Amino acid sequence: MELYFLGTGAGMPARHRNVTSIVLNLLPERGTIWLFDCGEGTQHQILRSPVKLSKSEKMFITHLHGDHLFGLPGLLSSRSYQGGDTPFVIYGPKGLKAFVDTSLGLSQVHLDYELVVHEIEEDGVVFEDANFRVEAASLEHRIECFGYRIIEKDLPGKLQLDKLRELGVTAGPLYGRLKQGHTVLLEDGRELKGDQFVGPSIKGRIVTILGDTKPCSNSSLLAADADVLVHEATFGAERADLADAYDHSTTEQAALTAKEAGVKTLIMTHISSRYQGEGAEQLVQEARAHHADSWLAEDFWSYTVPRK
């Protein structure tokens, strides 16, 4: 599980930061990638990255401001040309389907895959299968905006091979049944219970990705005990007045949310173009004064989410 940042800027593209788009690389876990937001130029950023659009499975849109959305029609079209023929699902606020249908319809785009648009009507679970659950909750921004909590479900513990070998049980179909917790009967009459040969379950990871927001209670709820929190930090601490006026957050506010929620690692993104060089380093120091494990994302930067 890896986060890869295609765009980390705020408002409009800049030379050193494109607008928002994040990839959650789940190739080892499910053979696919998920995308979060799709600002203008996202498909161009993908061309400069190791990301394979044909491996994309889902897109989660936080809100319908252009710097999070305007790259979507081009990306959907390019996915067909780049070998994407599996179903693709987009999640986001009300109005997303009208935007997609209108832009693709007027430009007469033909897709070689099934496209599903799921508009979020209320806070709660928006996706769940045997391995992952994704929860969405509304944030405080100028328009309807969501944050997402991605929960990897716990994995079964490792089969304790040494114990089985000591009992003379060799590799074979019995190993699989024991790992699943079943009770098996050996040819010599011995009975082995699976739960006695499987180690403790492996704790799943939690990644929280928020859209644009000022500090609010749902940010903390979504981020509770997360391994990684991706939080906007459009402004430095000295511009708290601007952050409040435009429903954004400062570095300090992002760090305090991470601290209060018990987050392990904070990654700040959606950075105003006014912060470059020493100014960007100052943002990191402001956050680390409240939450030590804080980082400032840059375009084409990645972070591997460790297991606890």
Q: Which residues define the annotated binding site for Zn(2+)? A: 63, 65, 67-68, 141, 212, 270
DSSP assignment string, 165-233: HHTT--SSHHHHHHHTT-EEE-TTS-EEEGGGSB-PPBPPPEEEE--S--S-HHHHHHHTT-SEEEEE-
Catalytic residue among 37, 67, 227, 299: 67
- Return the SS3 of 241: helix
CA distances from 300 to 22, 39, 75 (A): 10, 15, 18
| Binding residue ranges | 63, 65, 67-68, 141, 212, 270
| CA 284/CA 75 separation, integer angstroms | 32
Report the C-alpha dihedral over residues 257, 263, 268, 270, rounded to 10 degrees. Answer: -60
Edge-to-edge strands, sheet with 56-60 = 115-119, 88-92, 56-60, 32-36, 21-26, 2-7, 301-304
CB 303 within 8 A of CB 267: yes
| Residue 67 annotated as catalytic | yes
Cβ neighbours, 10 Å, residue 27: 12
Cβ neighbours, 10 Å, residue 188: 6
Amino acid at 53: L
CB 198 within 8 A of CB 176: no
| CA 151/CA 206 separation, integer angstroms | 5
Bridge partners, residue 124, by sequence = 136
What positions carry a catalytic annotation? 67
